[in-house]
Structure 1
Amino acid sequence: MDIRQMKYFVAVAEELHFGRAAERLDMAQPPLSRQIKQIETDIGVLLFNRGRNAITLTQAGETLYKRVISILAQRDEAILEARRIGQGAEGRLRIGFVGSSTYGLLPNIVKSYRAHYPDVSLGLFPMNNARLQRSLVRREIDVAFARPALKDTEFHTRFLAEEALVAAVPDMFQPGPSDRFTPASASGQNIILYPEVPRPSYADFVISNLEEKGFSDLKRVFTMDLQTALSLVAIGEGICIVPASVATAQRNGIRFLTIDPGLDNTSLSVSHRLDEQGVHVKNFLTIAQSVARKTL
Protein backbone atom coordinates (compact mmCIF):
# COMPACT_ATOMS: atom_id res chain seq x y z
CA MET A 1 0.00 0.00 0.00
CA ASP A 2 1.25 3.47 -0.82
CA ILE A 3 0.22 6.60 1.06
CA ARG A 4 -2.60 7.35 -1.39
CA GLN A 5 -4.07 3.86 -0.95
CA MET A 6 -3.75 4.17 2.83
CA LYS A 7 -5.85 7.31 2.75
CA TYR A 8 -8.46 5.55 0.58
CA PHE A 9 -8.61 2.66 3.03
CA VAL A 10 -8.89 4.93 6.08
CA ALA A 11 -11.72 6.95 4.52
CA VAL A 12 -13.79 3.82 3.82
CA ALA A 13 -12.93 2.30 7.22
CA GLU A 14 -14.12 5.42 9.01
CA GLU A 15 -17.19 6.18 6.90
CA LEU A 16 -18.20 2.50 6.37
CA HIS A 17 -19.86 3.70 3.22
CA PHE A 18 -18.27 3.92 -0.21
CA GLY A 19 -20.39 6.87 -1.32
CA ARG A 20 -19.58 9.03 1.71
CA ALA A 21 -15.92 8.00 1.58
CA ALA A 22 -15.71 8.95 -2.10
CA GLU A 23 -17.28 12.33 -1.35
CA ARG A 24 -14.82 12.88 1.50
CA LEU A 25 -11.94 12.09 -0.88
CA ASP A 26 -13.42 14.24 -3.64
CA MET A 27 -13.52 11.38 -6.13
CA ALA A 28 -16.08 9.13 -7.82
CA GLN A 29 -17.24 5.97 -6.06
CA PRO A 30 -16.34 3.36 -8.74
CA PRO A 31 -12.58 4.20 -8.76
CA LEU A 32 -12.58 4.09 -4.98
CA SER A 33 -14.24 0.69 -4.93
CA ARG A 34 -11.66 -0.58 -7.41
CA GLN A 35 -8.80 0.76 -5.29
CA ILE A 36 -10.09 -0.99 -2.17
CA LYS A 37 -10.50 -4.20 -4.12
CA GLN A 38 -6.94 -3.85 -5.41
CA ILE A 39 -5.64 -3.36 -1.88
CA GLU A 40 -7.41 -6.54 -0.75
CA THR A 41 -5.97 -8.41 -3.72
CA ASP A 42 -2.42 -7.16 -3.06
CA ILE A 43 -2.60 -8.03 0.64
CA GLY A 44 -4.45 -11.27 0.06
CA VAL A 45 -7.16 -10.79 2.68
CA LEU A 46 -10.71 -9.44 2.84
CA LEU A 47 -10.77 -6.11 4.66
CA PHE A 48 -14.50 -5.33 4.50
CA ASN A 49 -17.66 -7.36 4.93
CA ARG A 50 -19.94 -6.07 2.18
CA GLY A 51 -23.64 -6.39 3.03
CA ARG A 52 -26.68 -5.37 1.06
CA ASN A 53 -27.18 -2.20 3.09
CA ALA A 54 -23.94 -1.73 5.00
CA ILE A 55 -20.29 -2.64 5.15
CA THR A 56 -18.16 -3.46 8.19
CA LEU A 57 -14.49 -4.06 8.82
CA THR A 58 -13.29 -7.62 9.07
CA GLN A 59 -10.91 -8.53 11.91
CA ALA A 60 -8.02 -8.16 9.47
CA GLY A 61 -9.43 -4.79 8.41
CA GLU A 62 -9.65 -3.56 12.00
CA THR A 63 -6.03 -4.51 12.66
CA LEU A 64 -4.84 -2.89 9.45
CA TYR A 65 -6.82 0.27 10.21
CA LYS A 66 -5.06 0.73 13.57
CA ARG A 67 -1.65 0.27 12.00
CA VAL A 68 -2.36 2.52 9.01
CA ILE A 69 -3.65 5.31 11.26
CA SER A 70 -0.42 5.13 13.25
CA ILE A 71 1.71 5.17 10.09
CA LEU A 72 -0.08 8.21 8.69
CA ALA A 73 0.21 10.04 12.00
CA GLN A 74 3.95 9.33 12.16
CA ARG A 75 4.31 10.51 8.59
CA ASP A 76 2.54 13.77 9.35
CA GLU A 77 4.66 14.28 12.48
CA ALA A 78 7.84 13.58 10.55
CA ILE A 79 6.90 16.11 7.86
CA LEU A 80 6.00 18.72 10.47
CA GLU A 81 9.23 18.11 12.38
CA ALA A 82 11.33 18.33 9.22
CA ARG A 83 9.55 21.53 8.22
CA ARG A 84 10.11 23.12 11.66
CA ILE A 85 13.77 22.13 11.65
CA GLY A 86 14.12 23.49 8.13
CA GLN A 87 12.62 26.78 9.32
CA GLY A 88 14.93 26.86 12.34
CA ALA A 89 12.11 26.43 14.89
CA GLU A 90 13.45 23.07 16.10
CA GLY A 91 16.72 21.15 15.88
CA ARG A 92 20.04 21.94 17.54
CA LEU A 93 22.73 24.59 17.57
CA ARG A 94 26.20 24.05 19.05
CA ILE A 95 27.98 27.15 20.34
CA GLY A 96 31.66 27.27 21.27
CA PHE A 97 32.94 30.26 23.24
CA VAL A 98 35.93 31.69 25.07
CA GLY A 99 35.40 32.16 28.81
CA SER A 100 35.56 35.97 28.75
CA SER A 101 32.55 36.16 26.42
CA THR A 102 30.28 34.96 29.24
CA TYR A 103 30.74 38.35 30.95
CA GLY A 104 29.69 40.39 27.94
CA LEU A 105 27.43 39.82 24.98
CA LEU A 106 27.08 36.05 24.94
CA PRO A 107 24.54 35.67 27.80
CA ASN A 108 22.23 38.28 26.25
CA ILE A 109 22.57 36.74 22.80
CA VAL A 110 21.73 33.27 24.09
CA LYS A 111 18.80 34.62 26.11
CA SER A 112 17.39 36.43 23.07
CA TYR A 113 17.84 33.38 20.84
CA ARG A 114 16.05 31.14 23.36
CA ALA A 115 13.18 33.62 23.48
CA HIS A 116 12.79 33.51 19.68
CA TYR A 117 13.45 29.78 19.21
CA PRO A 118 12.56 27.99 22.48
CA ASP A 119 12.39 24.53 20.88
CA VAL A 120 15.93 24.56 19.48
CA SER A 121 18.34 22.54 21.61
CA LEU A 122 21.44 24.59 22.46
CA GLY A 123 24.82 23.09 23.22
CA LEU A 124 27.27 25.48 24.95
CA PHE A 125 30.96 24.53 24.99
CA PRO A 126 33.71 26.64 26.65
CA MET A 127 36.98 26.41 24.70
CA ASN A 128 40.15 28.33 24.00
CA ASN A 129 40.76 29.72 20.52
CA ALA A 130 42.74 26.71 19.32
CA ARG A 131 39.94 24.29 20.24
CA LEU A 132 37.35 26.63 18.73
CA GLN A 133 39.19 26.61 15.42
CA ARG A 134 39.68 22.84 15.47
CA SER A 135 36.06 22.17 16.44
CA LEU A 136 34.70 24.41 13.67
CA VAL A 137 36.86 22.65 11.10
CA ARG A 138 35.68 19.25 12.35
CA ARG A 139 32.03 20.41 12.44
CA GLU A 140 31.80 19.66 16.14
CA ILE A 141 30.34 23.14 16.76
CA ASP A 142 28.31 25.45 14.51
CA VAL A 143 29.44 28.91 15.68
CA ALA A 144 32.41 30.14 17.70
CA PHE A 145 32.81 33.23 19.89
CA ALA A 146 36.52 34.02 19.90
CA ARG A 147 38.98 36.54 21.30
CA PRO A 148 41.06 37.42 19.31
CA ALA A 149 39.28 36.58 16.04
CA LEU A 150 39.83 33.20 14.41
CA LYS A 151 41.84 33.36 11.21
CA ASP A 152 41.00 30.70 8.65
CA THR A 153 40.15 30.97 4.95
CA GLU A 154 37.28 28.51 5.53
CA PHE A 155 35.59 30.73 8.15
CA HIS A 156 33.37 33.77 7.91
CA THR A 157 33.92 36.10 10.88
CA ARG A 158 31.77 38.96 12.18
CA PHE A 159 33.11 41.42 14.76
CA LEU A 160 30.53 42.07 17.46
CA ALA A 161 32.15 44.47 19.92
CA GLU A 162 35.36 46.10 21.06
CA GLU A 163 36.16 46.79 24.68
CA ALA A 164 38.98 48.13 26.76
CA LEU A 165 41.32 46.02 28.84
CA VAL A 166 41.50 46.45 32.61
CA ALA A 167 43.72 45.01 35.33
CA ALA A 168 42.26 42.46 37.74
CA VAL A 169 44.31 42.83 40.91
CA PRO A 170 44.15 41.33 44.44
CA ASP A 171 42.06 43.51 46.74
CA MET A 172 45.18 44.19 48.90
CA PHE A 173 47.17 45.49 45.90
CA GLN A 174 48.43 49.06 46.42
CA PRO A 175 48.56 50.87 43.05
CA GLY A 176 49.67 54.23 44.40
CA PRO A 177 47.94 57.63 44.63
CA SER A 178 46.45 57.47 41.12
CA ASP A 179 44.57 54.21 41.87
CA ARG A 180 45.50 53.03 38.38
CA PHE A 181 47.57 50.15 37.10
CA THR A 182 50.75 51.82 35.85
CA PRO A 183 54.24 50.58 34.90
CA ALA A 184 55.51 51.86 38.25
CA SER A 185 52.86 50.06 40.33
CA ALA A 186 53.26 46.90 38.22
CA SER A 187 57.01 46.64 38.64
CA GLY A 188 58.05 43.22 39.99
CA GLN A 189 54.50 41.85 40.02
CA ASN A 190 53.43 38.47 38.61
CA ILE A 191 51.33 38.84 35.46
CA ILE A 192 48.99 35.87 35.08
CA LEU A 193 48.43 34.98 31.43
CA TYR A 194 46.12 32.53 29.68
CA PRO A 195 46.06 30.22 27.86
CA GLU A 196 49.47 28.65 28.25
CA VAL A 197 49.15 26.56 25.09
CA PRO A 198 48.74 26.64 22.17
CA ARG A 199 50.31 29.87 21.07
CA PRO A 200 49.93 32.53 19.73
CA SER A 201 46.83 33.41 21.71
CA TYR A 202 45.15 36.06 23.83
CA ALA A 203 48.20 35.81 26.12
CA ASP A 204 50.47 37.02 23.31
CA PHE A 205 48.09 39.91 22.56
CA VAL A 206 48.38 41.00 26.22
CA ILE A 207 52.17 40.53 26.35
CA SER A 208 52.84 42.61 23.24
CA ASN A 209 50.48 45.35 24.48
CA LEU A 210 52.14 45.55 27.88
CA GLU A 211 55.63 45.69 26.40
CA GLU A 212 54.65 48.45 23.95
CA LYS A 213 53.23 50.58 26.80
CA GLY A 214 56.23 50.22 29.09
CA PHE A 215 55.11 47.36 31.36
CA SER A 216 58.38 45.49 31.11
CA ASP A 217 59.26 44.46 34.66
CA LEU A 218 56.64 41.72 35.07
CA LYS A 219 57.08 38.05 35.95
CA ARG A 220 55.00 35.84 33.68
CA VAL A 221 52.81 33.10 35.16
CA PHE A 222 50.78 31.00 32.73
CA THR A 223 47.53 29.14 33.33
CA MET A 224 44.95 27.54 31.03
CA ASP A 225 41.85 29.73 31.25
CA LEU A 226 40.28 32.92 32.55
CA GLN A 227 38.52 31.39 35.55
CA THR A 228 41.72 29.83 36.85
CA ALA A 229 43.55 33.10 36.28
CA LEU A 230 40.96 35.02 38.31
CA SER A 231 41.18 32.45 41.10
CA LEU A 232 44.94 33.00 41.25
CA VAL A 233 44.41 36.76 41.39
CA ALA A 234 41.91 36.36 44.24
CA ILE A 235 44.47 34.52 46.40
CA GLY A 236 47.14 37.12 45.70
CA GLU A 237 49.30 35.26 43.19
CA GLY A 238 49.42 38.06 40.67
CA ILE A 239 47.61 40.40 38.30
CA CYS A 240 45.61 39.52 35.19
CA ILE A 241 44.68 41.69 32.20
CA VAL A 242 41.05 41.07 31.23
CA PRO A 243 38.33 42.58 29.02
CA ALA A 244 36.39 45.37 30.76
CA SER A 245 33.18 43.31 30.72
CA VAL A 246 34.75 40.91 33.21
CA ALA A 247 34.74 43.75 35.74
CA THR A 248 30.93 43.84 35.69
CA ALA A 249 30.85 40.68 37.81
CA GLN A 250 31.98 41.23 41.39
CA ARG A 251 34.35 38.61 42.78
CA ASN A 252 35.68 38.27 46.31
CA GLY A 253 39.34 39.15 46.64
CA ILE A 254 39.55 41.03 43.33
CA ARG A 255 39.16 44.60 42.23
CA PHE A 256 39.58 46.08 38.78
CA LEU A 257 41.80 49.03 37.85
CA THR A 258 42.07 51.23 34.81
CA ILE A 259 45.37 50.68 32.97
CA ASP A 260 47.49 53.77 32.38
CA PRO A 261 48.68 54.12 29.70
CA GLY A 262 45.75 52.30 28.14
CA LEU A 263 46.27 49.15 26.11
CA ASP A 264 44.74 48.36 22.71
CA ASN A 265 41.11 47.34 22.77
CA THR A 266 40.18 43.69 22.49
CA SER A 267 37.42 42.52 20.16
CA LEU A 268 34.86 39.74 20.43
CA SER A 269 33.93 38.01 17.18
CA VAL A 270 31.67 35.18 16.06
CA SER A 271 32.72 32.79 13.29
CA HIS A 272 31.14 29.99 11.28
CA ARG A 273 32.19 27.84 8.34
CA LEU A 274 31.84 29.36 4.87
CA ASP A 275 29.94 26.28 3.67
CA GLU A 276 27.45 26.47 6.55
CA GLN A 277 23.99 26.81 4.98
CA GLY A 278 21.86 25.90 7.99
CA VAL A 279 19.03 28.23 8.94
CA HIS A 280 19.84 27.81 12.64
CA VAL A 281 23.22 29.51 12.22
CA LYS A 282 21.69 32.23 10.06
CA ASN A 283 19.00 32.97 12.64
CA PHE A 284 21.53 32.96 15.47
CA LEU A 285 23.88 35.37 13.72
CA THR A 286 21.02 37.75 12.96
CA ILE A 287 20.11 37.84 16.64
CA ALA A 288 23.77 38.11 17.74
CA GLN A 289 24.34 41.17 15.56
CA SER A 290 21.06 42.74 16.68
CA VAL A 291 21.92 42.28 20.36
CA ALA A 292 25.43 43.63 19.80
CA ARG A 293 24.09 46.78 18.08
CA LYS A 294 21.57 47.41 20.88
CA THR A 295 24.19 46.84 23.58
CA LEU A 296 26.69 49.17 21.97
Structure 2
Amino acid sequence: MSWITRVRNALPFVAPRQTPDNLWHKCKGCGQMVFTKELEENQYVCPMCDHHERIGPKERFAYLFDEGSCETLPSPTVPEDPLKFRDSKRYADRLRAARASTGDSDAWINALGTIDGHKAVVGVQNFGFMGGSMGQAVGEAFIAGVEKAIEQNCPFIVFTASGGARMQEGILSLMQMPRTTVAIEMLHDAGLPYIVVLTDPTSGGVMAAYAMLGDVQIAEPKATLAFTGRRVIESTIREKLPDDFQTSEYYRDHGLIDMVTHRKELRSTLAELIDFLCAGNKQAA
Protein backbone atom coordinates (compact mmCIF):
# COMPACT_ATOMS: atom_id res chain seq x y z
CA MET A 1 0.00 0.00 0.00
CA SER A 2 1.48 3.34 -1.03
CA TRP A 3 1.63 6.34 1.32
CA ILE A 4 -0.92 8.16 -0.85
CA THR A 5 -3.43 5.36 -0.33
CA ARG A 6 -2.78 5.29 3.44
CA VAL A 7 -3.28 9.06 3.75
CA ARG A 8 -6.39 8.96 1.58
CA ASN A 9 -7.96 6.15 3.61
CA ALA A 10 -7.18 7.94 6.86
CA LEU A 11 -9.03 11.09 5.81
CA PRO A 12 -12.66 11.41 6.97
CA PHE A 13 -15.24 10.82 4.23
CA VAL A 14 -16.84 14.00 2.95
CA ALA A 15 -19.88 13.68 0.72
CA PRO A 16 -19.59 15.58 -2.58
CA ARG A 17 -21.40 18.90 -2.68
CA GLN A 18 -24.68 18.79 -4.55
CA THR A 19 -25.04 21.72 -6.97
CA PRO A 20 -28.50 22.38 -8.43
CA ASP A 21 -28.65 21.93 -12.20
CA ASN A 22 -30.55 25.21 -12.62
CA LEU A 23 -28.18 27.43 -10.62
CA TRP A 24 -26.73 29.00 -13.77
CA HIS A 25 -28.24 30.00 -17.10
CA LYS A 26 -26.31 30.45 -20.34
CA CYS A 27 -27.52 33.60 -22.12
CA LYS A 28 -28.60 32.90 -25.69
CA GLY A 29 -27.56 36.42 -26.65
CA CYS A 30 -23.98 36.78 -25.41
CA GLY A 31 -23.24 33.23 -24.26
CA GLN A 32 -22.28 34.35 -20.74
CA MET A 33 -23.30 32.40 -17.64
CA VAL A 34 -25.79 34.26 -15.44
CA PHE A 35 -27.12 33.31 -12.01
CA THR A 36 -30.68 32.06 -12.55
CA LYS A 37 -31.82 34.02 -9.49
CA GLU A 38 -30.31 37.21 -10.88
CA LEU A 39 -31.98 36.54 -14.23
CA GLU A 40 -35.37 36.05 -12.55
CA GLU A 41 -35.00 39.28 -10.59
CA ASN A 42 -34.19 41.06 -13.86
CA GLN A 43 -37.40 39.78 -15.51
CA TYR A 44 -35.42 37.23 -17.55
CA VAL A 45 -33.43 39.94 -19.30
CA CYS A 46 -29.66 39.31 -19.43
CA PRO A 47 -27.92 41.90 -17.22
CA MET A 48 -24.86 41.80 -19.51
CA CYS A 49 -26.25 42.10 -23.05
CA ASP A 50 -29.96 42.93 -22.44
CA HIS A 51 -31.10 39.82 -24.32
CA HIS A 52 -34.78 39.09 -23.61
CA GLU A 53 -35.26 35.40 -22.81
CA ARG A 54 -38.55 33.70 -23.66
CA ILE A 55 -41.00 33.50 -20.77
CA GLY A 56 -44.41 31.91 -20.26
CA PRO A 57 -47.82 33.11 -19.06
CA LYS A 58 -47.05 32.77 -15.33
CA GLU A 59 -44.07 35.15 -15.52
CA ARG A 60 -45.88 37.55 -17.87
CA PHE A 61 -48.82 37.93 -15.52
CA ALA A 62 -46.54 38.37 -12.49
CA TYR A 63 -44.55 41.16 -14.16
CA LEU A 64 -47.58 42.89 -15.66
CA PHE A 65 -50.52 42.87 -13.25
CA ASP A 66 -50.87 44.73 -9.98
CA GLU A 67 -50.14 42.44 -7.03
CA GLY A 68 -53.14 40.35 -6.04
CA SER A 69 -55.29 41.46 -8.99
CA CYS A 70 -54.60 38.62 -11.43
CA GLU A 71 -57.37 36.09 -12.06
CA THR A 72 -56.50 33.33 -14.53
CA LEU A 73 -59.48 32.60 -16.75
CA PRO A 74 -60.59 29.03 -17.56
CA SER A 75 -59.57 27.71 -20.97
CA PRO A 76 -62.35 26.58 -23.34
CA THR A 77 -62.68 22.86 -24.03
CA VAL A 78 -62.16 21.72 -27.63
CA PRO A 79 -62.06 18.30 -29.31
CA GLU A 80 -58.60 16.75 -29.00
CA ASP A 81 -56.82 15.21 -31.96
CA PRO A 82 -59.78 15.68 -34.35
CA LEU A 83 -57.80 14.31 -37.32
CA LYS A 84 -56.23 11.37 -35.41
CA PHE A 85 -52.91 12.75 -36.64
CA ARG A 86 -49.65 10.88 -36.37
CA ASP A 87 -46.13 11.70 -37.60
CA SER A 88 -43.13 10.35 -35.70
CA LYS A 89 -45.42 10.48 -32.63
CA ARG A 90 -49.15 10.56 -32.08
CA TYR A 91 -50.58 14.06 -31.69
CA ALA A 92 -52.30 12.97 -28.48
CA ASP A 93 -48.91 11.98 -27.04
CA ARG A 94 -47.40 15.34 -28.02
CA LEU A 95 -50.24 17.14 -26.23
CA ARG A 96 -49.74 15.09 -23.07
CA ALA A 97 -45.99 15.79 -23.08
CA ALA A 98 -46.53 19.54 -23.60
CA ARG A 99 -49.06 19.70 -20.78
CA ALA A 100 -46.74 17.82 -18.44
CA SER A 101 -43.80 20.13 -19.19
CA THR A 102 -45.70 23.45 -19.00
CA GLY A 103 -48.56 22.74 -16.63
CA ASP A 104 -50.93 24.49 -19.07
CA SER A 105 -53.82 22.96 -21.01
CA ASP A 106 -52.67 24.53 -24.31
CA ALA A 107 -50.59 27.33 -25.80
CA TRP A 108 -52.88 30.27 -24.87
CA ILE A 109 -53.79 31.48 -21.37
CA ASN A 110 -56.00 34.46 -20.51
CA ALA A 111 -56.10 36.43 -17.27
CA LEU A 112 -58.11 39.36 -15.94
CA GLY A 113 -56.51 41.95 -13.67
CA THR A 114 -55.39 45.53 -13.30
CA ILE A 115 -52.30 47.24 -14.72
CA ASP A 116 -51.43 50.23 -12.56
CA GLY A 117 -55.10 50.38 -11.59
CA HIS A 118 -56.45 49.94 -15.14
CA LYS A 119 -58.57 46.85 -15.78
CA ALA A 120 -57.50 44.65 -18.70
CA VAL A 121 -57.80 41.14 -20.09
CA VAL A 122 -54.40 39.79 -21.12
CA GLY A 123 -53.80 36.76 -23.34
CA VAL A 124 -50.36 35.15 -23.45
CA GLN A 125 -49.14 32.66 -26.02
CA ASN A 126 -46.66 30.15 -24.63
CA PHE A 127 -43.89 29.17 -27.06
CA GLY A 128 -42.94 26.37 -24.68
CA PHE A 129 -46.19 24.57 -25.55
CA MET A 130 -45.54 22.99 -28.96
CA GLY A 131 -43.88 26.15 -30.22
CA GLY A 132 -46.92 28.24 -29.33
CA SER A 133 -48.64 26.75 -32.37
CA MET A 134 -52.16 27.89 -33.19
CA GLY A 135 -54.81 25.20 -33.08
CA GLN A 136 -58.48 25.09 -32.13
CA ALA A 137 -57.70 25.55 -28.44
CA VAL A 138 -55.70 28.74 -29.13
CA GLY A 139 -58.45 30.11 -31.37
CA GLU A 140 -61.18 29.39 -28.82
CA ALA A 141 -59.10 30.87 -25.98
CA PHE A 142 -58.45 34.02 -28.03
CA ILE A 143 -62.18 34.45 -28.70
CA ALA A 144 -62.95 33.79 -25.02
CA GLY A 145 -60.49 36.56 -24.11
CA VAL A 146 -62.22 38.98 -26.46
CA GLU A 147 -65.64 38.09 -25.03
CA LYS A 148 -64.36 38.58 -21.49
CA ALA A 149 -62.91 41.98 -22.40
CA ILE A 150 -66.27 43.04 -23.88
CA GLU A 151 -68.08 41.77 -20.78
CA GLN A 152 -65.69 43.69 -18.49
CA ASN A 153 -65.64 46.73 -20.82
CA CYS A 154 -61.85 46.82 -20.89
CA PRO A 155 -58.97 46.43 -23.40
CA PHE A 156 -57.71 43.10 -24.68
CA ILE A 157 -53.90 42.87 -24.66
CA VAL A 158 -52.13 39.91 -26.26
CA PHE A 159 -48.54 38.67 -26.10
CA THR A 160 -47.76 36.59 -29.18
CA ALA A 161 -45.06 33.91 -29.42
CA SER A 162 -45.59 31.25 -32.04
CA GLY A 163 -44.15 29.25 -34.88
CA GLY A 164 -47.49 29.50 -36.69
CA ALA A 165 -50.42 27.17 -37.34
CA ARG A 166 -50.47 23.71 -35.72
CA MET A 167 -49.89 21.24 -38.52
CA GLN A 168 -51.45 18.35 -36.56
CA GLU A 169 -54.87 20.04 -36.90
CA GLY A 170 -54.62 20.88 -40.60
CA ILE A 171 -57.38 23.11 -42.00
CA LEU A 172 -58.98 23.36 -38.55
CA SER A 173 -55.91 25.30 -37.44
CA LEU A 174 -56.01 27.65 -40.44
CA MET A 175 -59.68 28.36 -39.74
CA GLN A 176 -58.62 30.15 -36.55
CA MET A 177 -57.18 33.00 -38.64
CA PRO A 178 -60.55 34.35 -39.87
CA ARG A 179 -62.26 33.46 -36.58
CA THR A 180 -59.86 35.55 -34.51
CA THR A 181 -60.11 38.38 -37.06
CA VAL A 182 -63.90 38.46 -36.61
CA ALA A 183 -63.41 38.46 -32.83
CA ILE A 184 -61.17 41.53 -33.10
CA GLU A 185 -63.90 43.28 -35.10
CA MET A 186 -66.32 42.48 -32.26
CA LEU A 187 -63.92 44.23 -29.90
CA HIS A 188 -63.77 47.27 -32.18
CA ASP A 189 -67.57 47.36 -32.45
CA ALA A 190 -67.64 47.57 -28.66
CA GLY A 191 -65.26 50.55 -28.81
CA LEU A 192 -62.49 48.74 -26.93
CA PRO A 193 -58.74 48.74 -27.72
CA TYR A 194 -56.85 45.72 -29.00
CA ILE A 195 -53.14 45.95 -28.15
CA VAL A 196 -50.52 43.50 -29.43
CA VAL A 197 -47.09 42.85 -27.91
CA LEU A 198 -44.94 40.82 -30.30
CA THR A 199 -42.35 38.65 -28.55
CA ASP A 200 -39.64 36.28 -29.76
CA PRO A 201 -40.51 34.52 -32.00
CA THR A 202 -43.77 35.36 -33.77
CA SER A 203 -44.18 33.88 -37.23
CA GLY A 204 -46.29 31.97 -39.74
CA GLY A 205 -50.08 31.99 -39.65
CA VAL A 206 -50.13 33.85 -36.33
CA MET A 207 -48.09 36.68 -37.85
CA ALA A 208 -50.52 36.74 -40.78
CA ALA A 209 -53.53 36.97 -38.46
CA TYR A 210 -54.12 38.49 -35.02
CA ALA A 211 -50.47 39.35 -34.38
CA MET A 212 -50.52 42.23 -36.87
CA LEU A 213 -54.05 43.56 -36.35
CA GLY A 214 -53.51 45.57 -33.18
CA ASP A 215 -54.65 49.15 -32.71
CA VAL A 216 -51.18 49.57 -31.22
CA GLN A 217 -48.30 47.26 -32.19
CA ILE A 218 -45.48 46.87 -29.65
CA ALA A 219 -42.50 44.50 -29.79
CA GLU A 220 -39.80 43.42 -27.36
CA PRO A 221 -36.21 44.21 -28.44
CA LYS A 222 -34.56 41.98 -31.06
CA ALA A 223 -37.54 39.64 -31.34
CA THR A 224 -37.73 37.54 -34.50
CA LEU A 225 -40.87 38.52 -36.41
CA ALA A 226 -41.61 36.83 -39.71
CA PHE A 227 -44.25 35.25 -41.89
CA THR A 228 -41.84 32.88 -43.63
CA GLY A 229 -38.18 31.95 -43.28
CA ARG A 230 -35.29 34.15 -44.34
CA ARG A 231 -33.79 31.53 -46.66
CA VAL A 232 -37.10 31.04 -48.46
CA ILE A 233 -37.37 34.77 -49.16
CA GLU A 234 -33.74 35.07 -50.30
CA SER A 235 -34.10 32.14 -52.68
CA THR A 236 -37.33 33.61 -54.06
CA ILE A 237 -36.15 37.18 -54.68
CA ARG A 238 -32.52 36.11 -55.31
CA GLU A 239 -31.16 38.89 -53.12
CA LYS A 240 -29.23 39.06 -49.85
CA LEU A 241 -31.39 40.45 -47.05
CA PRO A 242 -30.14 42.92 -44.40
CA ASP A 243 -28.68 41.40 -41.23
CA ASP A 244 -31.42 42.92 -39.07
CA PHE A 245 -34.22 41.73 -41.38
CA GLN A 246 -37.20 40.21 -39.54
CA THR A 247 -36.32 41.84 -36.22
CA SER A 248 -38.35 44.19 -34.03
CA GLU A 249 -36.09 47.11 -34.87
CA TYR A 250 -36.37 46.50 -38.63
CA TYR A 251 -40.18 46.42 -38.39
CA ARG A 252 -40.22 49.64 -36.38
CA ASP A 253 -37.82 51.46 -38.71
CA HIS A 254 -39.97 50.48 -41.72
CA GLY A 255 -43.26 51.54 -40.12
CA LEU A 256 -44.74 48.08 -39.56
CA ILE A 257 -45.01 48.42 -35.77
CA ASP A 258 -45.37 51.41 -33.48
CA MET A 259 -42.63 50.89 -30.91
CA VAL A 260 -39.98 48.60 -29.46
CA THR A 261 -40.27 48.51 -25.69
CA HIS A 262 -37.97 46.99 -23.07
CA ARG A 263 -39.63 44.37 -20.87
CA LYS A 264 -39.08 46.47 -17.75
CA GLU A 265 -40.98 49.36 -19.35
CA LEU A 266 -43.89 47.33 -20.73
CA ARG A 267 -46.09 47.65 -17.67
CA SER A 268 -45.88 51.44 -17.52
CA THR A 269 -46.22 51.73 -21.32
CA LEU A 270 -49.37 49.60 -21.38
CA ALA A 271 -50.84 51.53 -18.45
CA GLU A 272 -50.31 54.81 -20.32
CA LEU A 273 -51.86 53.38 -23.48
CA ILE A 274 -54.94 52.12 -21.63
CA ASP A 275 -55.30 55.48 -19.91
CA PHE A 276 -55.11 57.28 -23.27
CA LEU A 277 -57.23 54.90 -25.37
CA CYS A 278 -59.91 54.51 -22.69
CA ALA A 279 -60.02 58.16 -21.66
CA GLY A 280 -63.77 58.27 -22.29
CA ASN A 281 -64.43 54.95 -20.60
CA LYS A 282 -64.40 55.28 -16.81
CA GLN A 283 -65.03 51.59 -16.20
CA ALA A 284 -61.82 50.58 -17.99
CA ALA A 285 -59.67 53.14 -16.17
TM-score (norm 2): 0.24
Q: Higher strand fraction: Structure 1 or Structure 2?
A: 1
Q: Name the structure where helix makes up a greater proportion of residues.
A: 1
Specify the structure having the higher radius of gyration (Cα): 1
TM-score, length basis structure 1 = 0.24
